[in-house]
Each structure stands twice: as C-alpha cells, then as structure tokens.
Amino acid sequence: DTWRYAFEEALEEVQGKYAQKFKEEIEANSDHEVQLFPFGTLGESADTMEQAQAGILQFVDQSPGFTGALIPEAQVFFVPYLLPQDQETLFEFFRNSVAINEMFPELYAEQGLELLTMFPEGEVCMTTQEPVRSPEDLNEVKFRVMTNPLLVESYEAFGAVPTPLPWGEVYGALQTGIIQGQENPGFFLESTKMYEVTDVITCIGHNNFTTAVMANKDFYDGLQEADQLLIQDATAAAFEYILEYQQGLQEESLDKIREAKPEMEINILSEEERQPFMETATQVEEAFIGMAGESGQEILDQLKQDLEDARQATSG
C-alpha cells in the first residue's frame, strides 16, 4: 500500500530532507510505499492539515506557525527568546523535552492527529528593505508572519505592523510592496531567494523555527503494532538525520546569500541592540497565557523546565 505524506517545503529543503529520510527508512524496512507531496502540490499548509485530519493524507508536516487556531498551546514556540541559541542545548531540548514528547501528543490527539515528532529548522532572521537596529526601525513596516495570533502579538511588540499570510503569497507581496519584511530560518531565506526581494537580513536571536510531523490518528491507531513501531523507528532515524544535516547550515546559507548578492546587508545585532526586543518576551508570554489558558501555562512551565534540564545536561 501507499502512504501519502505532505510537507510545507521543497524536496531539497529541511522538511523535504526529513521526509525523504523517513520514506527511505519505511521502504527499506517494510513493503509500504511513501508518496511525498512537497509544498505547492496540494495547496497551502492549511489545506494539507485539513487533508491529514480527513485521512486523505496519512502524514503531514505542519509548523506550529499555522496550528494556532487548532492547537493554541503550540503557539508557545513564538514566545521570543524562549529557545536557546546554542545548537547543542537546542538539540538536547528537542530530544528530551517532556512538553514535546508527552504533553503535546495529547493536544494533537484531540484534533485527530498522532504527533510523531517536533524538530528545529534553524535560527529565524528577518529580511527587510531597510536596516533594523531597533524596534523603532520596524515602525510602519508591514511585516509578514505566519497565520498565527501569537506571532502577530510578538511582531506588534517588536514595533512592526504584522501581516499574516500563507507562504505562497510572500514572494509576490514583497515584490509588489504590499509587505516590506518577513522572517525565516537561514536555509529558507537562501533557497526561496528572499534576497531577490529584500535588501537586509537582521538576526536578533529571538527564535528557532520549529516544525511538527504527525499522522492521521485513526490511520495510526488502526495499524498493527509492528507498523506503529516501524513508523516510530523511521521517525527517530529521520529526527537524528535532520539534526545532523543542519550542523553549520545557517552559516553556509548566509554565505551563499552573500555570494548570490554581495550588496545584501547582513546584520547580527549585538547583545545591547537586542535588549529592547528581549524585553518584549514577558508581554508576549502573557498574551500566550491569555490565548492558551491553564493548559498553556502548564506547557510553558514544563517547557521552561525542559530547557533548564537541557542547559544543565550540556553545560561544562
């Protein structure tokens, strides 16, 4: 039989690399076939999520950036400066987080989804037309964010005019000037040629792009135990593969951008310059609790504990 798996990026981008490895593992260890549907083949992220919930797709990769309405708690990944910048700590966190591995699966299950894994895709940087050295520089900048209410809060707190859009509209909206900025991890800025339609990259260390892979729950629950194990093993293998794949990827991607467009301005803000952006974290955290309630608070507390544990484990 054939299992259908959709993701939000191209085949050679991070989600695609993960999906290819998952497919390879499943097919090497069983008679099942996995058919991959990269971004654009089945619509936007909101469309593929509906298809996964309806059981038309067996697997889907959807980022919390688009899961806000469905699972408000998943917006926790948009509290700025929550995730560590240090890659070793970050990976340790994703491997062992109780919030991710035990709490989120229950919330996804309520939406008919079996959460298989979450993984990071790289530090998120802004691309804009003008340099950004402080929140004042974002004043009146129409800044595209994923369709996620907390991300809107966050960019409002950063001083911008947040404009939620699905991914497919971003390049054109920058080109025509409907928006003047957007954010994404380094590899994606390079592969989607954001440097063709913006002139400045600004990294303020506020986030790492998190994504989630899930299965339709009825499909998953209906499988024999051997097939569930097969899926779990393939998930674990692809997870380790994708972390390895990302070693050094951010720097390489920024270098490729410099090569493709030497006049691109790339600014990594100093600790001092980051300060006013960092100060928005409390306010955005409060907004998160407002949106996700008690269960959001529990997730946030656990996540902070998990981050502390990851820091301890990787220190020294």
Q: Residue 234 has which token pair? A: 């393939």
Residue ranges in 245-274 that form contacts with ligand 6CS under rule CB under 6 A? none
| Strand ranges inside 47-169, DSSP E | 59-62, 113-128, 142-145, 161-164
CB-CB contact of 200 with 130 (8 Å): yes
| Closest to 54 measured CA to CA, from 218, 222, 212, 213 | 218
Asked if residues 103 and 77 have their Cβ atoms less than 8 Å apart, the reply is: no
Interface region with ligand 6CS, contact rule CB under 6 A, candidates 68-76, 129-137, 180-188, 258-266: 180-188
* 184 touches ligand 6CS by CB under 6 A: yes
Among 9, 123, 153, 285, binds ligand 6CS (CB under 6 A): 9
Token pair 């085949």 in the structure block, residue? 11
Question: 93-109 in b/e burial notation, b at 16+ Cβ within 10 A?
Answer: bbbebebbeebbeebbe
Q: Applying CB under 6 A, does 146 fall inside the site for ligand 6CS?
A: yes
- 61 and 18 Cβ atoms separated by less than 8 Å: yes
* Residues whose CB falls within 8 Å of the CB of residue 264, separated by 6 or more in sequence, listed in order: 195, 199, 200, 201, 257, 258
Nearest one of 167, 61, 70 to 109, comparing CA atoms: 70
Whether the CB-CB separation of 79 and 149 falls below 8 Å is answered with no
Q: Which of 22, 91, 155, 209 binds ligand 6CS (CB under 6 A)?
A: 209
Shorter beta-carbon distance to ligand 6CS: residue 103 or 138: 138
Q: Which stretch binds ligand 6CS (CB under 6 A): 132-140, 181-189, 261-269, 288-296?
A: 181-189
- Asked if residues 96 and 75 have their Cβ atoms less than 8 Å apart, the reply is no
190 near ligand 6CS (CB under 6 A): no
Break the chain down into helix, strand, coil percent, rounded to 5: 55, 20, 30
Closer CB to ligand 6CS, 185 or 296, in the complex: 185
- Kindly identify the residues of this chain, within the stretch 102-131, that bind ligand 6CS according to CB under 6 A: 121
Name the segment binding ligand 6CS (CB under 6 A); options: 67-75, 96-104, 182-190, 217-225. Answer: 182-190
Which residue's C-beta sits nearest to ligand 6CS?
A: 167
Q: Is 63 in the site for ligand 6CS (CB under 6 A)?
A: yes
Q: Min. distance of Cβ 8 from ligand 6CS in angstroms?
A: 4
String marking each residue 66-105 x if it binds ligand 6CS according to CB under 6 A: ----------------------------------------
Per CB under 6 A, the segment of 21-29, 84-92, 101-109, 184-192 that binds ligand 6CS is 184-192
Binding site for ligand 6CS (CB under 6 A): 8-9, 45, 63, 121, 146, 167, 184-185, 188, 209
